[in-house]
C-alpha cells in the first residue's frame, strides 16, 4: 500500500513537503520508512546488535533522510 503524507509525518515528524514527496516516490512502506529512520538516527546501535546493513528501498530511504539532515545542519 502506498504511503500518504500523514504516514510519512507519523514516522518522521514535521518535515518539508519535498522530502515527503521523495519518500512517497520510493514506493516504500511505512515499516520500511521506520526502519530507515532508525538506521539514519542510530546506525551504530543497530550495527552493534548485529543487524545487517539496509538494502533496497530501506537503503534508499536512509540516503534521503541522511541528505536531508545534512542540509538542515548547514
- Condensed to tens digits (0 to 9), the pLDDT of residues 2-40 reads 899 999 999 999 999 999 999 999 999 999 999 999 888
Q: What is the pTM of this model?
A: 0.81
Mean pLDDT, range 40-45, rounded to an integer = 72
Q: How many angstroms separate the Cα of 1 from the Cα of each of 6, 29, 31, 46?
A: 14, 7, 11, 27
Half-sphere exposure of 14 (CA within 13 A, CB side): 0
Report how far residue 67's alpha carbon sits from residue 62's, in angstroms, rounded to the nearest whole number: 8
Q: What is the pLDDT of residue 69?
A: 60
- How high is the pLDDT of residue 60? 94
Amino acid at each position: 500500500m502506498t504511503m500518504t503524507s500523514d504516514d510519512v509525518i507519523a514516522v518522521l515528524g514535521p518535515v518539508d513537503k519535498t522530502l515527503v514527496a521523495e519518500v512517497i516516490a520510493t514506493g516504500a512502506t511505512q515499516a520500511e520508512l521506520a526502519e530507515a529512520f532508525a538506521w539514519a538516527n542510530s546506525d551504530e546501535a543497530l550495527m552493534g546488535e548485529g543487524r545487517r546493513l539496509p538494502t533496497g528501498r530501506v537503503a534508499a530511504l536512509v540516503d534521503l533522510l541522511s541528505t536531508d539532515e545534512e542540509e538542515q545542519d548547514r
